[in-house]
Structure 1
Amino acid sequence: MIKTYSAIILGLLAVSLSASAQKKKDYTGYVNPFIGTGGHGHTYPGAVVPFGMVQLSPDTRLEGWDGCSGYHYTDSVVYGFSHTHLSGTGIADYCDILFMPTTGTPQFKNTEHSSRFQKKNEFASPGYYKTKLDKYSIDVELTATTRAGMHRYSYPSTREANIIIDLQHRDQVLNSWIEIVNDHEIKGYRESRSWANDQHVYFYAKFSKPFKAYGIAVNDVLQEGLKKAEGKNLKLYIRFDNPGQVISKVGISAVSADGALKNLNAEMPDFDFKKVQRAAKAQWIDALAKIEVEGGAPEVKQEEQMSTEALAYGYGRPPGKKAPVVDYGKIKRTIFYTALYHAMLSPNIYSDVDGQYRGMDQKIHTANGFNYYTVFSLWDTFRAEHPLLTLIDKKRTLDFIKSFLAIYDQQGLLPIWSLASNETYCMIGNHSIPVIVDAYAKGIRDFDAEKALEAMKVSVNRNQFGLDSYRQNGAVLADNNQESVSKTLEYAFDDWCIAQFAKMLNKPVDYNQYIQRAQYWKNVQDKDSGFVRARKNGDWLTPFDPNEVNHNYVEGNAWQYSFLAPQDVNGLIARMGGKANFSAKLNELFTTTAPLTGIQQPDVSGLIGQYAHGNEPSHHMAYLFNFTDDADKTQFFLNRIMSEQYSDKPDGLAGNDDCGQMSAWYVMSALGIYNIAPGQQQLQIGLPQFESAVIHLENGKKFTILNSGSSVARNNIYLQGINLNKKAYNKLYLSYDDIANGGEFEVFTGRLANRIFMQDLEKSTSEITANLITPNPTITLLKTFAPPTQAAIKSNDTEADAIYFTTDGSTPTTSSKLYSKPVPVSSNMTIKAIAVHNGKSSFVTEAHY
């Protein structure tokens, strides 16, 4: 009786949960996985579930920068369908375990068994992909679970229906093996090297029908009768006799073939393709419904002409010409939900269903109570993607942090760019730190915070990538380091995050140390020009051209880094001469007609003036007008960025999607809120793009964002009024608690900037006021027409009291010579100098002649 009663309760609960799930709106129809597959977006269109280990997708490009994901929209030849892909990266890897259905005599080279396909036969939606192989007249359909992929091949009538399994495809293979288990099952392993130095993938495949023949090719030569082989170039074919339709299901694992089998059996117990496809779609319905948006823009009728407002929004048809019936609101919703979809493709689960995973030490570990993740593109994603996920996916964010701490245990360092449990050391900074701090500041605290602080300090105090120069000089110097300016700026932000974390943990000694380091950005900022510049031999490196892309910056130039102090915007404003000067300089960033010079760098893309939306360091900059008396320009330039740099076309991204960062920027900005410095509680108010946007929070509450007059097609791009919970609101920012507590946020927009209203709003603050530093002086060799040669020592501080120097190699103090005029320079002389303000000395600046 008790069992029966329990069963009834469970049944009612299941019905209730099912009914609840059915109430969720289905936004998957707005997702276009082909957005970003053209241009330089580097996304893929294949089947995947949110944050899945398997990304089952076609491979159409074997090499080249625009082949990083294995696919490019302009291609017309497919080599096969592999089980792992990277989304939006700027370096190639993955594309492991290639399957390719063929007919006739098996061909083992991918260039020989490849087939043409046509765009008209290609379709993709969340969790599903299909195409037709023209060469073989085979229909291919793909779907996936978290750790397994399912293929459905529909063959023409033939007694020679094959599946080629290629373990050599794409990367350098270090070792591999493959084994025929029986006439329904195959297992194998591949160890490869590419971006990840040592990647391990095991697979276990099962087939819905028995294969009648098989063969293993070693070095592309078929070996008769072989059931198992090991080597660096292994391929296999299996053959079916007029099968009609064959379903292949493939589990993968980084741990073992048994792990792959466990994953497969747990997630795909049968061969019901439609069932798996529906389940994948259901996961996406659930994920995308975390944010529900409606509206966006009015429909433009057939008989209407394109307005200048529509042109301003980027709809691109000259005035006076008839426009087709176009629902621009639907276009914007497509861009939005595809962006949200892309933001949920990575990081990727890397632990098996039993919790086992391969760690950074290449040993097998078990994740107890959490999923272990990989593919952390942190230099990119700490800026918008992780704040987005901290807002709408706290459990997963906690798993990320636990993964970070496990990585620290295994390699003695927090992850920088972790891929397949390999540290690639790609990009700069230590940006797992802001992810941890932002999460902790927003209530995600179920992890070992003391250990996290220890890991942060260890990570930033190692002697690698200029960190020793940074600590010793208050800046990474260009004398011995490339990318010195960018490194200094990024390290300073990480240090600010550590300071905030220490403050929350009541660690005053750590706070004072790291809040001081958080100001080191001042040591590479030339207060006279306002630009950040490289320091070499005591002086600014010359010649200097702010438009030049060179090795002093990471994928950028001085324009694109001079506003990168989000932890101290008010300090940056002060050093640029106040709000008016700062605003003018910021406006020039967006309006200058000066072209890029220097190194050809394809990542510096999506240009509006010298603002480069196609690369991450620029992403917060439009919001900086909110700190000035020209806050309407935040709305103006956000409108330009969203309308010019995003579309619903394959080339609809301004640059690499970078594991979802480019997309997450759009999601947050279209909602009208943006965290310019993760770890801060304040979110900047921007320009909401939809009549209604509802964020469903995990605490059961919801935060609704309304835009009355939101249609950008009517050119309503300027704020006219703001309400919070139906009361007038007088700030240009929201606190995180405003959102987390639920409620309604409403903005009123119009065609003209309402500067009176905007100036009455309380500005956000981002300012360091504790333990202020004195910036380092410069030592400049003067160009004179006659001897003696002289050196000028100049303060780089707006308020320095005095400069002291030595010429005998000793370290200057306040007892050393007081600088008053240029110093004569002789051969083999070393000048050292300090600036002092309020009794506080700068680091020593040193020049050798």
Structure 2
Amino acid sequence: MKKTFSLLILFNTLFSLGQNYHKYVNPMIGTGGHGHTYPGATVPFGMVQLSPDTRIDGSWDGCSGYHYDDSVIYGFSHTHLNGTGCTDYGDIMLMPTMGEPNFDPKEYGSKFTHSNEKATSGFYSVKLDKHNIDVNLTTSTRVGFHQYVFNNKGQANIIIDLNHRDKLLYGDIKIIDNKTIEVLRRSEAWAKDQYVYARIEFDKPMQVSKAEANQENRKDFYSGTILKIAFSTQVKKGEKISVKVSLSPTSYDGAKLNSSEIKDWDFNKVINESEELWDKQLSKIEIKETDEEKLAIFYTALYHTMVQPNIAQDIDGKYRGRDNKVHQAEGFDYYSVFSLWDTFRAAHPLYTLIEKKRTADFINTFLKQYEQGGRLPVWELASNETDCMIGYHSVSVMADAMVKGITGFDYEKAFAAAKHSAMLDHLGLDAYKRQGFISMDDEHESVSKTLEYAYDDWCIAQMAQILNKKEDYEYFMKRSQSWKNVFDWETGFMRPKKNGGWDKPFDPREINNNFTEGNSWQYSFFVPQDIPGMIEAYGGKDKFEAKLDEMFNSESKTTGREQVDVTGLIGQYAHGNEPSHHMAYLYNYIGKPEKTTEKVHYILNNFYKNAPDGLIGNEDCGQMSAWYVLSSMGIYAVTPGTEKWESIEPLFNEIKIKNENGSFLVDYKKDKVNGVSNRIFLLADKLREQLIQSRSSTYAQFDYSQTIYNREDKNDIIPVPVIQAESKSFKDKMTIEIAQLNKNCIIYYVVDEKDSRDDLTFLPYVKPFIINKTSLVSAYCLCNDKRKSDTISATFFKKPNNYTIDIKSTYNPQYHAGGKEGLLDGINGSTNWRKGDWQGYQTQDFEAIVDLQNVKEVSSFSSTFLQDQRSWILMPTKVEYYSSSDNINFTLITSVANDVDPRKDENTIKDFSFKASKSINARYIKVKAYNYGKLPEWHLGFPYNGDAFIFIDEITIK
């Protein structure tokens, strides 16, 4: 079969599908399972997401506020996150009730059933069973519109609970008149300091019937960190009360201005307007399909890519910036909610096709946040930087837009911001710049950060090339090759390094703190900037294909830490999490497109369903759905930052893509030609032609399809050597071995010992050598063509004593700190426990016996523990020290109580120390630390009664 695409540029062409695209959207998709979506009403990229909340805790599956398995609604709030893995939003919650108002969520919450629930694009309705109230919701961009039908007569209440979900830093409620109030909610959760102003208008007079405020509490004003209020009136059976809630991030005046979006009380008119907005938006991609299920899956996926980022400015362009000041947007619209670690992969490339103006607006938002906050956003929420996830993937979005000729933002400023972010010294970047990779000693998630920084640096190089900045281009192209420094050529995996060598033991299936939400399998193919180089590193096309096959055909089981994000496993491929999303397309690069098509179609047909659990993993702000939208159309951007789109056979026979430059009609046909299946790139090539035509002539023009993997020798780095030893510390002496990949290179090394001369000279490495002092070993490779690797260093410590330790407890294998000797090596861990220097114990106390080798006079004891309560790591309640001369009979010396508040938020290290008034004769010292036990009810973790960890690093006996 020969597969061809017939593709024409058409304008104003209507498909037989018609214009009612909104009717195919099913907002319930993703509300079950682990999709983390919400079913409520919103409009494209709107500020308001008016949706029911069935979760008021911080549970992982309740991040959006709603889960399909729940049966109680606690209220309807106006902001929600779509498919994230952290909890926030749920601002300005309203809940209608009957009778005497009550501020306990368990009392004002109501049972509901899905049979009485309806969700469409722009509309949501449900019956609250407790008081027989019908709730109908719709929205404009900045205004939420409620309509409550009270099916029983009596006192009707509308409760506003500003303590709903996240922490209230401050709130106030102003009574303007009996139909109008103004609200400020300043809160802390994932975003540490979020401002939401609201203007709430009732269509009939309401009176305050109950209020609770812990600061001011008077007739027309209420404020505090506890703030709840109820408005009441008498209603007849079947009577309606309508409420409009307009939001603003800037001020009461902004909320009042934004309320003009809905000028009257015609609820059905607002529904129709929201449907028209969705029809216009969804028509940007039209498919011809008769299967109603496929239509629902496709258009709901497209819908999920369009509910964020969210407009975050008032009608007049005022917005709250990263500096927490109010600014005026000039010539662009300011947005919020940028899950860039997820969305740079597929959502933002999709936007370059159908949202060119918004793409420029997004980038202008990035640049304003750079100006106001000092760096580009990583994971921005409500003008707060959460610093969640890794990399600086704003640069991917900017480079992709520049390469594709999208204008409307300052290219020079974008490059300056990108370069600034890449030259900072935080989050492992200092080590990455110094030695070409990040080690476990430098930063947690070291492998993932090295790989993603390398890709981002390649994106910056593409920006530099467009702007004709040759030195910057060469510098960042060289940095983009840093992936080679964490690739183990012997095992064929990306691996963590520690103290100059490969960390051991190594299991590519293990999920641990060396990778971001994944394992080595799920990161060993992330080199989108140099796929030919990656194939070469694996040993060529055949071996690379075998490695891909092995990944897809392995047992679908991971080891190490339980990672809820790793779902949708096909072997070790995890479609439920983003690092795997490009992998099936890698078969295209070795001439096996049929394997790409097979894998992609399997995922499309099995991991996306028209059901509440229809997403195999978190939606992640549109990324999961963007993958579906692009892949079902037969295209995917494996390397954002190039014009290149990978092509496969699409799911649909006819597809039309619309954007500001016109429309592309894709007519997929099958023709038999000698029974041979040929791969045709016509769709991707035509898209590329359009991009080339639209690119501004102001900047340099390059054929990126030819130069995407520029592998000139000057940019092709020499990997650093590997310094291997048995451990980081030793008692008497230790053998050091240095290895490297390139046979045309010579290793040069130097050993810097204490009291050694200052004029040390690097010498050629010939064979392993022995050290017997604390030493710094440094090495680099120099090749025949004069290319030189970065210099790598490792420090080896001679232990301060010959003590041994017998640990009676069992540490979690994720947190081993190098084994039992790690507690006596004289090396102290830092507050960043994810670097692997601490031993972790859960569901048990810690107990160990230190053998001093002979009876000694002991004067002091100390054991060091760490607390990070957000990560379930709490101080022991107390630590006991015992002495013994025979290792059988022990005498209690002292008990040191904990004095660190378990609620303390910042990471804390404490020495549980004791200094004896007189020396104690002993050979054996027992240390026993008592675990906190079950997490308390106030804890942020879920479930709150989970088991706490004890983290210990060093035991010191003098």
Q: TM-score range by the shorter chain?
A: 0.7 to 0.9
**CA distance 1:550–1:233, shift in 2 (3 Å):** same
Higher deviation after alignment, 55-64 or 816-825: 816-825
Q: Which residue of 2 aligns with 1:270?
A: 264
Q: Which residue of 1 aligns with 2:396?
A: 434
For 1:37 and 1:640, the matched residues in 2 are separated by 23
Gaps of 5+ in 1: 1-16, 297-328, 711-717, 743-761
TM-superposed CA distance for 1:263, in Å, is 0.3
For 2:757 and 2:494, the matched residues in 1 are separated by 26
For 2:214 and 2:16, the matched residues in 1 are separated by 51
Query: 3-state SS of the aligned residue for 2:397?
Result: helix
1:842 and 2:789 matched: yes
TM-superposed CA distance for 1:705, in Å, is 4.9
Amino acid at match of 2:251: S
Amino acid at match of 2:283: A
For 2:349 and 2:734, the matched residues in 1 are separated by 54
Query: 3-state SS of the aligned residue for 2:475?
Result: helix
Amino acid at match of 1:61: R
Q: Which residue of 2 aligns with 1:768?
A: 711
**CA distance 1:52–1:18, shift in 2 (3 Å):** farther
Deviations 1:1-24, CA, capped at 9 Å, x for gaps: xxxxxxxxxxxxxxxx99999996
Q: Which residue of 2 aligns with 1:60?
A: 54
1:147 and 2:94 matched: no
Match of 1:193 among 184, 188, 208: 188
Query: 3-state SS of the aligned residue for 2:530?
Result: helix
1:83 and 2:78 matched: yes
TM-superposed CA distance for 1:812, in Å, is 13
For 1:706 and 1:814, the matched residues in 2 are separated by 68
Deviations 1:36-58, CA, capped at 9 Å, x for gaps: 00011100000000110000000
1:228 and 2:221 matched: yes
For 1:168 and 1:435, the matched residues in 2 are separated by 36
Deviations 1:541-561, CA, capped at 9 Å, x for gaps: 111000100000011100000
Higher deviation after alignment, 283-292 or 229-238: 229-238
Q: Which residue of 2 aligns with 1:237?
A: 230
For 1:645 and 1:22, the matched residues in 2 are separated by 28
Deviations 1:316-368, CA, capped at 9 Å, x for gaps: xxxxxxxxxxxxx3212211111100010111100000111111111000101
Equivalent residue runs for 1:594-743 within 5 Å: 595-706=557-668, 708=670, 720-721=677-678, 734=685, 736-738=687-689, 740=691
Amino acid at match of 1:768: R
TM-superposed CA distance for 1:247, in Å, is 1.1
**CA distance 1:832–1:736, shift in 2 (3 Å):** farther
Amino acid at match of 1:173: L
Amino acid at match of 1:99: L
Q: Which residue of 1 aligns with 2:752?
A: 808
For 2:585 and 2:409, the matched residues in 1 are separated by 32
Alpha carbons 2:132, 2:152 under 8 Å: kept: no
**CA distance 1:239–1:19, shift in 2 (3 Å):** farther
Alpha carbons 1:356, 1:366 under 8 Å: kept: yes
Query: 3-state SS of the aligned residue for 1:595?
Result: coil
Alpha carbons 1:802, 1:819 under 8 Å: kept: yes
Alpha carbons 1:548, 1:596 under 8 Å: kept: yes
Residues matched between the structures, number: 764
TM-superposed CA distance for 1:240, in Å, is 2.5
Amino acid at match of 1:796: L
TM-superposed CA distance for 1:383, in Å, is 0.4
TM-superposed CA distance for 1:241, in Å, is 2.4
Equivalent residue runs for 1:1-80 within 5 Å: 25-63=19-57, 64-80=59-75
Q: Which residue of 2 aligns with 1:323?
A: none
TM-superposed CA distance for 1:447, in Å, is 1.3
Amino acid at match of 1:112: E
For 1:740 and 1:656, the matched residues in 2 are separated by 31
For 1:667 and 1:108, the matched residues in 2 are separated by 44
Instruction: Indicate the RMSD between aligned Cα atoms, in angstroms.
Output: 2.8
For 1:719 and 1:529, the matched residues in 2 are separated by 37
**CA distance 1:526–1:207, shift in 2 (3 Å):** same
Match of 1:833 among 772, 776, 779: 779
TM-score of the two chains, using structure 2 as the length reference: 0.77
For 1:101 and 1:29, the matched residues in 2 are separated by 28
Percent identity, please: 48
TM-superposed CA distance for 1:382, in Å, is 0.4
Match of 2:212 among 204, 207, 218: 218
For 1:85 and 1:594, the matched residues in 2 are separated by 33
**CA distance 1:415–1:623, shift in 2 (3 Å):** same
For 1:58 and 1:143, the matched residues in 2 are separated by 12
Alpha carbons 1:774, 1:800 under 8 Å: kept: no
Q: Which residue of 1 aligns with 2:699?
A: none
Query: 3-state SS of the aligned residue for 2:342?
Result: helix
Alpha carbons 1:380, 1:661 under 8 Å: kept: yes
For 1:231 and 1:46, the matched residues in 2 are separated by 29
Alpha carbons 1:216, 1:234 under 8 Å: kept: no
TM-superposed CA distance for 1:479, in Å, is 1.2
Alpha carbons 2:642, 2:708 under 8 Å: kept: no
Deviations 1:104-124, CA, capped at 9 Å, x for gaps: 111122221111111001010
TM-superposed CA distance for 1:165, in Å, is 1.4
1:348 and 2:294 matched: no
TM-superposed CA distance for 1:665, in Å, is 0.6
For 1:764 and 1:604, the matched residues in 2 are separated by 34
Amino acid at match of 2:609: S
Alpha carbons 2:208, 2:229 under 8 Å: kept: yes
Alpha carbons 1:567, 1:767 under 8 Å: kept: no
Amino acid at match of 2:51: S
* Greater gyration radius: 2
Higher deviation after alignment, 158-167 or 85-94: 158-167
Match of 2:288 among 285, 290, 294: 294
For 1:367 and 1:413, the matched residues in 2 are separated by 19
Deviations 1:548-603, CA, capped at 9 Å, x for gaps: 00000011100000000000010001111000001100111111016200001101
Match of 2:739 among 794, 816, 828: 794
Amino acid at match of 2:537: R
Q: Which residue of 2 aligns with 1:568?
A: 530
1:545 and 2:507 matched: yes
Q: Which residue of 1 aligns with 2:905?
A: none
Higher helix share: 1
Query: 3-state SS of the aligned residue for 2:552?
Result: helix
Alpha carbons 1:46, 1:129 under 8 Å: kept: yes
Alpha carbons 1:47, 1:129 under 8 Å: kept: yes
Query: 3-state SS of the aligned residue for 1:840?
Result: coil
For 1:551 and 1:543, the matched residues in 2 are separated by 14
Deviations 1:351-404, CA, capped at 9 Å, x for gaps: 000111111111000101221011000000000000001110101111001100
Higher strand share: 2
Deviations 1:292-333, CA, capped at 9 Å, x for gaps: 11227xxxxxxxxxxxxxxxxxxxxxxxxxxxxxxxx32122
Alpha carbons 1:292, 1:693 under 8 Å: kept: yes
For 2:324 and 2:708, the matched residues in 1 are separated by 45
For 2:316 and 2:706, the matched residues in 1 are separated by 50
Alpha carbons 2:215, 2:225 under 8 Å: kept: no
Equivalent residue runs for 1:450-469 within 5 Å: 450-469=412-431
Alpha carbons 1:674, 1:683 under 8 Å: kept: yes
Alpha carbons 1:216, 1:237 under 8 Å: kept: yes
**CA distance 1:733–1:185, shift in 2 (3 Å):** closer
Alpha carbons 2:198, 2:255 under 8 Å: kept: yes
Deviations 1:82-113, CA, capped at 9 Å, x for gaps: 00000000000000011111111111222211
Match of 2:108 among 113, 126, 146: 113
Alpha carbons 1:186, 1:204 under 8 Å: kept: yes
**CA distance 1:337–1:501, shift in 2 (3 Å):** same
Q: Which residue of 1 aligns with 2:889?
A: none
